[in-house]
Amino acid sequence: MKDGIERMTKTNAGRFFEDYTIGQVIEHAVPRTVGQGERALYHALYPARHALYSSDAFAQSCGLAASPLDDLAAFHVVFGKTVPDVSLNARANLGYAEGRWLKPVWPGDTLRSTSEVIGLKQNSNGKTGVVWVRTRGYNQKDECVLDYVRWVMVKKRDLEAKAPETVVPDLKSALDVSDLVIPEGLDFTNYDFTLAGEPHRWGDYEVGEVIDHVDGVTVEEAEHMMATRLWQNTSKVHFDGTQREDGKRLIYGGHVISMARTLSFNGLANAQMIAGLNAGAHANPCFSGDTIRAWTEVLDKAETGAPGVGALRLRLVATKSGEAGQLKGEDGKYLPGVLLDLDYWALIPV
Amino acid sequence: MKDGIERMTKTNAGRFFEDYTIGQVIEHAVPRTVGQGERALYHALYPARHALYSSDAFAQSCGLAASPLDDLAAFHVVFGKTVPDVSLNARANLGYAEGRWLKPVWPGDTLRSTSEVIGLKQNSNGKTGVVWVRTRGYNQKDECVLDYVRWVMVKKRDLEAKAPETVVPDLKSALDVSDLVIPEGLDFTNYDFTLAGEPHRWGDYEVGEVIDHVDGVTVEEAEHMMATRLWQNTSKVHFDGTQREDGKRLIYGGHVISMARTLSFNGLANAQMIAGLNAGAHANPCFSGDTIRAWTEVLDKAETGAPGVGALRLRLVATKSGEAGQLKGEDGKYLPGVLLDLDYWALIPV
Amino acid sequence: MKDGIERMTKTNAGRFFEDYTIGQVIEHAVPRTVGQGERALYHALYPARHALYSSDAFAQSCGLAASPLDDLAAFHVVFGKTVPDVSLNARANLGYAEGRWLKPVWPGDTLRSTSEVIGLKQNSNGKTGVVWVRTRGYNQKDECVLDYVRWVMVKKRDLEAKAPETVVPDLKSALDVSDLVIPEGLDFTNYDFTLAGEPHRWGDYEVGEVIDHVDGVTVEEAEHMMATRLWQNTSKVHFDGTQREDGKRLIYGGHVISMARTLSFNGLANAQMIAGLNAGAHANPCFSGDTIRAWTEVLDKAETGAPGVGALRLRLVATKSGEAGQLKGEDGKYLPGVLLDLDYWALIPV
C-alpha cells in the first residue's frame, strides 16, 4: 500500500455460517453498567410512561425495591452485545422465541451476554444458512436476568464449505403462563390506577380485542442512532449513511419495538411489565421520517400465582401506514405499512 | 370492522369543556423519579450554565445540600403530567400566573401533580370555553414543591351542553416579593462570582435595563422531541409530523422557555434560581430550523430576608427574529418574531 | 434606542489578544458535577465500547474503584470551560501539546478549570496574535486531574495596541512514557480479553502498523449540538445556523475526536485508557451529513511500571473521505478528507 506502511487487520470481520457449531457458547463483549442515566435517556428517546419504570415510589408500592431498568432497555443491552458475534454478516433477522425476563435489572447492575448455538440449517442455495442462538443476559452476580432465542440468516464465507448437519430446535410457538417468571415480591393488590394513568384492569380486556393506540411519532436520524448506540449495537447499517443514495440509515428493529411498546401506554397503561417474548417479526424496514403508530390485539389471558397479578398475551403491531387491526394481505404477507409484529406476555393488575 | 375483530376504545380522549367543574381536583398520572440522568440531559438539550444547577460543590457553598433539579425542569415535569387531563383538547394555552417554586427538587425525588379547577368561562361562540387550573407538584413526601395557575381554551364535546356559571379567578398580575419562598438555607454571602461566570450582582441591575443575551441556537426536531418526551408531555402536535405538509412539529412552548432562560446566562449568570412565575405568553409558534435568541428587561427589584439574596423581576423574551427590546407592534400585538414573553422572579446575590 | 429603554452590555465579549499577559492565570466558570448521566449520554452520542468505561465490574477487575468518566469526556468538560475566556475571539485552534490525564474523574466529582498564559506572539499582520495557555482541570478536592497546553490565534481589539514581548514556550513534541501518570491501582494482570472484545495485546502491535477501523458514522446536527452543550462549550459557531447560508453549524473538533476514538474500538479495543496527548490538529472542518471514519498508526511503544500495563503512542486520524493511511498530499498539507490528526498515548495490557 501507499507510504510503504504495513496495514494489519485487527478489526472484527464477524462470524460466517461455517463458524458456528451446535453447542458452541459465545461470550460476548462488552459488559455494561446501567443506571439512572439510561433511565433518563429511555424517557427522552421514547414516550415511556409506564409508572413502574417511571417512579421509584410507584415500584415500591408494587413490592419492588426500586424502579428497574425498562424491560426492553434490558433486552436491548443484552441484544446489542450479540451483534458483533451473531449478526454482523446476517442477511436477515428471522425471528424470536421463548424470551423470558427472569430478574429485574436494577440501577447499578452490570450486564453481559452469552449466546449458545442451538440450531443450524444451510439454505438450499448454498450461500447462506440459518443460525439459531439462545442468548442469555447475566448481571454482575452471574444471575441470568433474561434469555431468548433468535435466529438469523448468515452468509457463508466459503461457498465450498461443507454444510453442517441440520439441527432445527424445537421451540414453543408461545410460552405458557407457567413458563413466565414473576419478579420476586411483585404485588398488585394495592395498585394505584389513578397514578398509573388508566382504570383498565386485567378483567377489562377480552381476547380478540384490538386497541388502537392513536398517537404517532415521526422518527429522526439522531434519535434512533442515539438509542442504538446506547445499547452498544454496532451494526453498520444503522449509522453509516453512505450505504444508501438518500443518506438514510436503516432503523434498528429494537427502536421500533420500544417506540411501539411505549406508544401502547395509551390503552395499556397498566400492562406494566414484560415477562415473556413469544415471537417477533420485523415486517418492513423503518427509516427516518416515518411516523410510527401502534395497535395491540389481545391474544390470550391467564392468571398468575402472584398477588393481584394477571397476564395478558398481546400482539403489538407497529405501523408506518394502514389501519389498526390490519396486518396481512390476502397473500398472507405483511402489509407494506406494517413494521413490527410482536407477540409478548405482559403483567397487569387483576 | 375488518377481520370481525371488535375494537375497543380504551385510549384517553382527553377532557372537554363541559367535563370541568369548579373545585374539581384532578390527580394526574404518572409519577416520575428524577435524578442525575435528567440533570445531564438538561445540560445536553440546553446551554445550561447557572452554577448552582451545574455543580454540587457550588450549591453547597450557597447553603444547599446539593445541586437541585433545574427549576424549569421541575416545572416541565409537573406540567407534563397535566397535558393528558388538561390540554389534550386545548385550542390555546392562554396564560400563566402565580407560579411559585416552594421547595427544591432533589435527585431521587419522585414528582406527581394535581390540578384544581378554579375558573370556568364559556366563550360567546358556544364552541369553546376557558378553564383555569391551579396545578401543584408534590414530592414523595407529599410536600408541595411548585404551584402555578394556567388557563387554556378547551373545546366543548357537545355544543348543546349548558354553559357553566362563569367564575373568573382573581389572580395577581405579579407576585409580590413577599409571596416568594426562598429555599431553606440559601445563603449568598460567600458567593463566588468568578466560578459563577460574571461579576454582576443585584445592585448592578436597574429597572428598565434591557440585556441582549447575544447567542443563538438553531433548534432541531430530535432535540425538542427528546426534551418534550423527557417531561412526559404527550401532546400529539409535538411528535406527529403527519399533521403538517412540511412534516414539521410544533415545538413545546416549554422548550422555548428553557432555551431562552439558559441563553440568558450570558448577562444574567448570577440570576441563579427561579422563585416565581408572574405571567407568560407563547406569542408565536416555534419550529425546527428557527434560531432562538433571547433578551431580558429588568422589571422590578426587591430585597429578600435571606442572607445575601436579592430578587429581580425579569421579562424574558425569546425571539426567532427582531431586535432586543422590541416586543409589540403599534397595534399592541406581539411582533411576528417574538416567541415567548415570560415574567418571572429570580434570586441573585446582592 | 427604540422605546427609550437603556440597553447595557453585561454579556461576555471574550478576551482579545492584548488582554493576555504572560503568567496570567484565568479561573474559568462554571464548575460542573459529572456522573451517571454524563456516562449514559457519552454512550448514546458515541459508539463507546471500551470496557473499562462501560462496566464498573470490569474497571474493578483492573484495580479501579469504579468506571471513571471517559477520559475524553473529562477533557471536553475541562476544555469547554475555557471557551468563553480563551477562544470566543479565536480565529483558529492551532494545536495541543503536553496533555496528561493525572487522576481519573469519578462519578460525583465536580470539575473546574484554570488556564495560565505561557506564550504570546503577535502575528506580522498586526491584526492577530498567538496565545499559548496551559489549562488545568481540578476536582472538588483541588486535585489536578488533567492538564494540557493549547494555542490559538486571537484577534486584536485595538490594532494600534503595542505588541507584547514574544514568548514562545518550549513544548515537547511528544511526551515520554515517563511523563505519563498511571492511575493509582491500575493492574492489567487479570485482564479479561474476551469481555473486552478483542485478543490483541501490547505485544501484537508494531510500530508503523496502520489499522483501518472500518466503521463509519454519519453525523447529525442534533447530536453534535447535544454533545457540545453537554460540555458547556459556548462557541457560537456550533449552535447558530444563521451564520451560514446552508444553516449548517461547524462541528466542535472535540466531537470528531470522541467519534474517532470510539470508532477505534474496532481494532484497538484494549487501548483502554488515554494517558497523554502529544499533539492534535483539526485538519478540516466537519459538518452535519459527513460520515466520519477513523484509522490509527502505531507511532511508538513503551513499557510502564504498572503491573501488566503497556503504552502505545498512536496517531488517530478521522476522515470524511479518503483511505486509511493517507494523511497529507505531496504539498505536505492535510488531504481535504482528513478531519483530525491526533497523537496520543494509550494504556493497554501487555
Q: How far apart are CA A118 and CA A168, in angstroms?
A: 8
**pLDDT per position in chain A (350 positions), as tens?**
344 445 558 998 889 999 999 999 999 999 999 999 999 999 999 999 999 999 999 999 999 999 999 999 999 999 999 999 998 888 888 999 999 999 999 999 999 999 999 999 999 999 999 999 999 999 999 999 999 999 999 999 999 999 999 999 999 999 999 999 999 999 999 999 999 999 999 999 999 999 999 999 999 999 999 999 999 999 999 999 998 889 999 999 999 999 999 999 999 999 999 999 999 999 999 999 999 999 999 999 999 999 999 999 999 999 999 999 999 999 999 999 999 999 999 999 99
Please report, to the nearest 10 degrees, the dihedral formed by the alpha carbons of residues C213, C214, C220, C221 taken in order.
Answer: 30
| Neighboring chain C residues of A229 at a CB cutoff of 8 Å | 43-48
Find the CB nearest A30 among C54, C213, C291.
C54
Choosing among C88, C229, C231, C249, which should be mutated to test the B contact, i.e. which has the most B CBs within 10 A? C229
d(CA C297, CA C210): 4
Q: Which residues of A touch B241 (CB under 8 A)?
A: 218, 289, 291
Predicted confidence at residue C91, as pLDDT, reads 82
Other C-beta atoms within 10 Å of C192: how many? 16
* Nearest of A87, A228, A77 to residue A150 by alpha carbon: A87
Nearest to A32 among C54, C208, C323 (CB): C54
For residue A72, give Cα distances in angstroms to A46, A215, A295.
11, 20, 18
Q: Choose from C30, C105, C223 for mutation: most chain B CBs within 10 A.
A: C30
Q: Does residue A31 sit in helix, strand or coil?
A: strand
Q: Which CATH number fits domain A197-350: 1.10.10.10, 3.30.465.10, 3.10.129.10, 3.30.300.20?
A: 3.10.129.10
Count Cα neighbours of A16 within 13 Å in the Cβ-side half-sphere: 14
> Is C230 in Cβ contact with B43 (below 8 Å)?
yes
Please answer yes or no on whether C239 and B221 come within 8 Å at the CB atom.
no
CB contact under 8 A, C196 and A29: yes
Pairing of strands B210-212, C7-8: parallel
Cβ <8 Å between B291 and C38: no
| C255-275: average pLDDT | 98
DSSP B79-96: HHHHIIIIITTEEEEEEE
Q: Which residues of A touch C39 (CB under 8 A)?
A: 35, 37
Do C44 and A230 make contact, defined as CB atoms within 8 angstroms?
A: yes
User: Given this model, what pLDDT does residue A13 score?
Assistant: 84
Among candidate residues A307, A91, A82, the one with its CA nearest the CA of residue A189: A307
Nearest Cα of chain C lies from the Cα of A11 at a distance, in angstroms, of 4
Measured in angstroms, the CA of A198 and the nearest CA of chain B are apart by: 8
Fold classification of B13-34+69-171 (topology level):
Thiol Ester Dehydrase; Chain A (3.10.129)
Chain A residues at the C interface, defined by Cβ less than 8 Å, are 1-3, 5-8, 10-12, 27, 29-33, 35-38, 40-41, 84, 108, 110, 112, 140, 220-223, 225-227, 229-230, 232, 234, 236, 239-242, 247, 249
Judged on CB neighbours under 10 Å (0-12, 13-18, 19+), B54 is: buried
CA distance A211 to B24: 30
Find the length of chain A: 350
Which of chain B's residues have a Cβ under 8 Å away from the Cβ of A323?
Answer: 2
Q: Categorize the per-residue pLDDT at C89 as very low, low, confident or very high, splitting at 50, 70 and 90.
A: confident
The answer regarding whether domain C10-34+69-171 maps to CATH 3.10.129.10 reads yes
Rounded CA separation C147/C110 (Å): 16
Please tell me the predicted confidence (pLDDT) of residue C8.
Answer: 57
The grid coordinates listed for C297 are: 498508526
What pLDDT sits at residue A4?
A: 47
Average pLDDT estimate for C12-35? 95
B51 to C35: CB separation less than 8 angstroms, yes or no: no
Amino acid present at B230: L
Which residues on C lie below 8 Å from A37 (Cβ)? 35-41
Distance from CA of A23 to the nearest CA of C (A): 18
Contact C8 B210 (CB under 8 A): yes
Q: What is the pLDDT of residue C9?
A: 81
pLDDT at A132: 98
What are the DSSP E strand ranges found in A60-213?
Answer: 90-101, 110-122, 128-138, 144-155, 210-212
Length of chain C: 350
Q: Contact A49/B232, CB-based, under 8 Å?
A: yes
For the CA atoms of chain B, what is the radius of gyration? Answer: 20
User: Quick check: C226 and B44 CB within 8 A?
Assistant: yes
Q: Does the pLDDT value for residue C130 go beyond 50?
A: yes
Q: Is the separation of the CB atoms in C145 and C169 below 8 Å?
A: no
Among B46, B56, B324, the residue with its CB nearest the CB of C7 is B324
- The three-point CA angle A55-A221-A245 to 5° equals 160
Residues with Cβ within 8 Å of residue C252, at least 6 apart in sequence: C224, C227, C228, C233, C235, C238
Number of residues assigned to chain B:
350
- How far CA C141 is from CA of A50, C38, C102, in Å, comes to 41, 20, 14
Report the SS3 class of residue A345.
strand
Assigned CATH class of B174-350? alpha beta
| Beta strands, E only, chain C | 7-8, 25-33, 90-101, 110-122, 128-138, 144-155, 210-212, 217-218, 273-282, 291-303, 309-319, 338-349
Beta bridge partners of C151: C95, C132
Contact between chains at B43 and C7 (C-beta distance less than 8 A): no
Give the whole-angstrom CA distance, residue C94 versus residue B81: 49
What chains are in contact with B, requiring at least 3 Cβ pairs below 8 Å? A, C
**Residues of C whose CB is below 8 A from B37:** 36-37, 40
Q: Hey, are the CB atoms on A234 and C47 less than 8 Å from each other? A: yes
Distance from CA of B251 to the nearest CA of A (A): 13
**Phi-psi region for residue A77, left (φ > 0), alpha (ψ -120 to 50) or beta?**
alpha
Q: What does the DSSP assignment read for B141-175?
A: T--EEEEEEEEEEEE-S-TTSPPPPPB-----SS-
User: Are residues C12 and B216, on separate chains, in Cβ contact within 8 Å?
Assistant: no
Q: What's the one-letter identity of residue B179? A: D
Do the bridges between strand A128-138 and strand A110-122 make them parallel or antiparallel, or are there none, so unpaired?
antiparallel
| Predicted complex ipTM exceeds 0.85 | yes
Helix (H, G, I), strand (E, B) or coil at B278: strand
Chains A–B, number of C-beta pairs less than 8 Å apart:
156
Type of residue at C29: A
* Nearest of A34, A9, A14 to residue A26 by alpha carbon: A14
Report the DSSP beta bridge partners of residue A191: none
Q: How far, CA to CA in Å, does B343 sit from each of A5, A350, B201, B273, C11?
A: 64, 48, 20, 14, 21
Residue-wise pLDDT for B2-58, tens only, equals 444 455 589 988 899 999 999 999 999 999 999 999 999 999 999 999 999 999 999
Minimal C-alpha gap between C183 and chain A (Å): 21
> Which amino acid is present at A328?
K
Phi, psi of B59 (to 5 degrees): -60, -40
**Nearest residue to C99 via CA among C139, C147, C168:** C147
In chain C, what residues touch B221 (CB-CB under 8 Å)?
222
Tell me which chain C residue has its CA closest to the CA of residue B40.
Answer: C37
pLDDT at A122: 97
Tell me whether residues C5 and B215 touch, CB distance under 8 A: no
Residue B341 identity = D
C-contacting chains (≥3 CB pairs under 8 Å): A, B
Name the nearest CA neighbour of B239 among C47, A213, A252, A271.
A213
Pick from B12, B27, B35: CB nearest A266:
B12
Q: Is there a shared CATH topology between the A16-34+69-161 domain and the A197-350 domain?
A: yes
CB pair distance less than 8 Å for B232 and A54: yes
pLDDT tens, residue by residue, C309-337: 999 999 999 999 999 999 999 999 999 99
Q: Which CATH superfamily is domain C177-350 in?
A: Hotdog Thioesterase (3.10.129.10)
Query: Which residues does chain B have with pLDDT short of 70?
Result: 1-8
H or E segment and range at residue B33: strand B25-33
Amino acid in position C147: D
Burial B93-114, CB ≥16 within 10 A → b, else e: bebbbbbbbbbbbbbebbbbbb
The residue extents of the domains of chain C are: 10-34+69-171, 177-350
Residues whose CB is less than 8 angstroms from the CB of residue B280 and which lie 6 or more positions away in sequence, other chains included: B95, B96, B257, B340, B341, B342, B343
pLDDT of residue C32: 98
Judged by CB atoms closer than 8 Å, whether chains meet at A229 and C50 is answered as no
CA separation for the pair C344, C277 (Å, rounded):
4
Residue B69 sits at φ, ψ, to 5 deg, of -60, 140
**Domain A16-34+69-161, second-level architecture:** Roll (3.10)
Q: Which residues of C touch A230 (CB under 8 A)?
A: 40, 43-44
